[in-house]
Amino acid sequence: MTLLCAATRLTTNRLAVPAVRTITAYQRWVHTTRLLNLKQVPDTIWLKPPAPASLATSKTDRLSRLPQDTEGDMEVFRSLESLDECVRDLYEESVRTSGTILRGTDEVRFGRKYIGMVNMPLPIVAAIDRYVTPLSKRTLRHDYLRIADSLRSTGQLTPRGKGKGNAAARQRRQDVYGEEEEDEALGSSSRNTPMLLPGERVEVIATGVRPAPDSLVNPGTPLKPHTLEYGRGETAAYLAACTPGTYGAIYNILAELSQRIPDFTPRSVMDFGSGPGTALWAIQEVWPTEKLEKYQGIDVSEDMLLCAEAIIADIPVPEDGQRVRDIKFSRYLPPSPSDPQERHDLVVSAFALSELPTDSMRKTTVETLWGHTADTLVLVDRGTPDSARMISEARDQILALGDCFT
């Protein structure tokens, strides 16, 4: 049996967790300008790009195919050529300052993943819009902020200045520039601000107690770790604001799974923490619908399950006339079946383990999910230290049970 684990960051409005790296304003400007210029290039040019023999040949050949008939075409051509050189210089500089990296190895290629952009299917987008439109936008925003508070209270990145990387940066600055640190009793100043040399990378490890973030609903009030019960309002806010990010993460993981195991096509699926059925949408996009015979969604929120049923019922029948034959929802996870025929080819738990209150409940849940798995178990959660720890512990637990590979 197969185990696939992933901790991923959502990129949905204010729920997005910032990546642990700094992108200068100039790099953002270059990236944005390049995208705007690329949008002006006719799509037909990029339909069948030649197989490049080298990076330089690919760049020269592709730019030479751009139209240069009018002054506007020449402006686009010059902009793309200039931006291409600028991006190359930035890349070469990053390579020069990043230290030794084993490039081109099988391990790097296997673990590297660029998500890019994922578009939700238009029928699902239309169904979500019809579900959310009659509701009050003010109420939706308030409920979304409550969801954000809940997520931020249970999963935080290490704040600036709270890891030992902060001390390492100060020590490096002191060694290089000969600056003396001020007494902390004198208060904070610019000399206490951590500074990294160009190209320097320092591992940041959280030490001590992290400061609690402030509430978005009640600014100025520190948050206490808590989870949220999803009623109708919270469900609608989650559907409107969070599902694009969760769909993108789940879709990419399942698409990667289908590429790494091409002969795997699930016929029965169990979705723990199904929410509005996000994993089902992604599964139907990755694998043929006619092959999927059974789907079982499990979520403790009754309103989430009602929302999932409403969205599925509102989606038009595909052109091929195929739908999942057997779709069921339940509020509780059943015990592991004794009959192997009752197990599911694919079991998915996306962003659900971090919602469980205790480690013992997580261990019991992971063991039960593995008992329901006939072929592949996929565990996905948020890209925070706490969630990454939970995913790592779940992986170790399943590997200890044996009869699996990752």
Q: Would you say residue 16 has pLDDT above 90? A: no
pLDDT at 267: 92
Q: Is the pLDDT higher at 70 or at 53?
A: 70
Collapsing DSSP states into helix, strand and coil, what is residue 393? helix
Least confident of 83-92, 125-134, 358-367: 83-92
Q: How long is the chain? A: 406
Q: What is the pLDDT of residues 287-334, one digit of tens each?
A: 877 788 899 999 999 999 999 999 999 988 766 656 788 899 999 999
Q: Output the six-digit token pair for 379.
A: 């565990």
CA distances from 395 to 178, 270, 334, 371 (A): 46, 19, 21, 14
Closest of 364, 344, 367 to residue 279, by C-alpha: 344
Query: φ, ψ for residue 323 (rounded to 5)?
Result: -130, 165
The answer to whether 283 touches 311, Cβ cutoff 8 Å, is no
Note the pTM of the prediction, 2 decimals.
Answer: 0.65
Q: Which residues pair with 271 in a beta bridge?
A: 297, 348
pLDDT at 18: 31
Least confident of 4-13, 65-74, 77-86: 4-13
Q: What is the pLDDT of residues 158-177, one digit of tens each?
A: 444 444 445 555 555 565 55
Return all residues near 247 (Cβ < 8 A) that are at least 6 apart.
118, 120, 278, 281, 282
pLDDT bracket for residue 54 (50, 70, 90): very low
**Which residue's entry shows tokens 């949008």?**
39
| Distance from C-alpha of 245 to C-alpha of 388, rounded to nearest angstrom | 18
CA 69, 72, 77, 82 dihedral sign is: positive
Sheet of strand 326-330, all strands in order from the earlier edge strand to the far edge: 2-8, 373-382, 344-350, 268-272, 294-298, 326-330
Q: What is the pLDDT of residues 324-345, one digit of tens each?
A: 888 999 999 999 998 888 999 9
The answer to whether 17 touches 9, Cβ cutoff 8 Å, is yes
| Distance from C-alpha of 375 to C-alpha of 347, rounded to nearest angstrom | 8
Rounded mean pLDDT of 264-284? 94
Q: Output the six-digit token pair for 202.
A: 């320092």
Q: What is the dihedral of CA 140, 142, 143, 144, to 10 degrees?
A: 80
pLDDT at 225: 84
pLDDT at 402: 76
Q: Is the pLDDT higher at 283 or at 22?
A: 283
Q: Output the six-digit token pair for 163.
A: 């890891």
| Distance from C-alpha of 366 to C-alpha of 381, rounded to nearest angstrom | 13
Q: What's the whole-number average pLDDT of the chain? A: 75
Q: What is the pLDDT of residues 25-52, one digit of tens each?
A: 445 555 555 555 555 545 444 443 344 3
Tell me, what amino acid is at 270? M
Q: Would you say residue 15 has pLDDT above 50? A: no
Q: Is the pLDDT higher at 59 or at 353?
A: 353
Q: Would you say residue 13 has pLDDT above 80? A: no
Rounded mean pLDDT of 383-402? 88
Q: Would you say residue 280 has pLDDT above 80? A: yes
pLDDT bracket for residue 72 (50, 70, 90): confident
Q: Would you say residue 68 has pLDDT above 70? A: yes
pLDDT at 210: 59
- pLDDT more than 70, % of the chain: 63
pLDDT bracket for residue 88 (50, 70, 90): confident
pLDDT at 66: 75
pLDDT at 185: 38
Q: Would you say residue 62 has pLDDT above 50? A: yes
pLDDT bracket for residue 183 (50, 70, 90): very low
pLDDT at 26: 47
Q: What is the pLDDT of residues 345-390, one digit of tens each?
A: 999 999 999 989 889 999 999 999 999 999 999 999 988 888 889 9
